[in-house]
Amino acid sequence: MSHASPPTTASDAPRHGTFGQTLTAEWTKIRTVRSTFWTLLAGAVVVIGFSALWALLFTASYDQLSPADRASLGPTTPMQIAFYFGMVIFGVLGVLVITGEYATGMIRTALTAVPNRARYLAAKAVVLALVVLVAGMVVSFASFFVGQAILSTKDLGGSLGDPGVLRAVAGGGVFLMLIALMALGVGVILRHTAGSVVVVFVLLFVLGIVGGFLPGEWGATVAKYLPSNAGSAILEPQPGDSVLPPWTGLAVFALYTAVALAAALVLFQERDA
């Protein structure tokens, strides 16, 4: 006589942890991998260091500047220039947190532990966002205050209370966070560190330069919507006609980031590890 198998209960089903446990695992990974510390340190040194350098250059050459150039010099100008040199480094961190796992084969182990790929990628994105947001805020405010200390020697400094300055400085941290998340999406799509870093470099640096050479009014309009130009609009205390309004520009960049992550999720779920 055959015997029916007992019904499977929830307690018998395989367990792969909760979203909170996945977050904890991702936090452990990102803080114990040495590349995280060194990449964040490199980004901080570049952004803060270049802010100091450009502030020194502006103060040293201020007497030789034209009235138009003097008028364009604001309290966040050194920081804005420094961001162009440092933002790709924060993008590299976004690439490394996923391509490093592909390079070592750890991605297969991770997906065995967390087979729900949407949850896995979401947890990685949340942890990366929080880490870079905190680090980005520290870097952005430190860059501003270092620049002010130097600019004030020529009575060129400003304060966070000046119109648009606090938004510009705090927005810098948000901008760096979105850069890292976009780079995470690129890393998931390409699954190769060098290739992903090149794509991030082109998106954030090369396209912005190319946009400056586009002719006519249509070229100026297109240039405003290129990724780095749109995102960096948040760094402008008093934006002019050559850039998008600050929050509009950041929203456009956030849309680029969302598209990259959405494409990454689709491919991540369809492809083998």
Question: What's the length of the chain?
Answer: 273
State whether the Cα torsion 63-64-67-69 is positive or negative.
Answer: negative
DSSP single-letter state for residue 6: P
How confident is the model at residue 2, as a pLDDT? 42
The residue-averaged pLDDT of 97-118 equals 90
Taking 60 as the threshold, does the pLDDT of residue 115 lie above it?
yes
Record the tokens describing residue 112, joined without a space: 């065995």
The amino acid at 205: F
Q: What is the pTM of this model?
A: 0.89
**What digits encode the pLDDT tens for the residues 46-91?**
999 999 999 998 888 877 777 777 777 778 888 999 998 889 999 9
Type of residue numbered 84: Y
d(CA 136, CA 89): 12
* Distance in angstroms (rounded) separating the CA atoms of residues 237 and 168: 6
Is a pLDDT exceeding 70 seen at residue 183? yes
Q: How many CB atoms within 10 Å of residue 126?
A: 16
Q: Two tokens at 72?
A: 């364009």
Tens of pLDDT, residue by residue over 125-140, are: 999 999 999 999 999 9
Quote the pLDDT of residue 9.
41
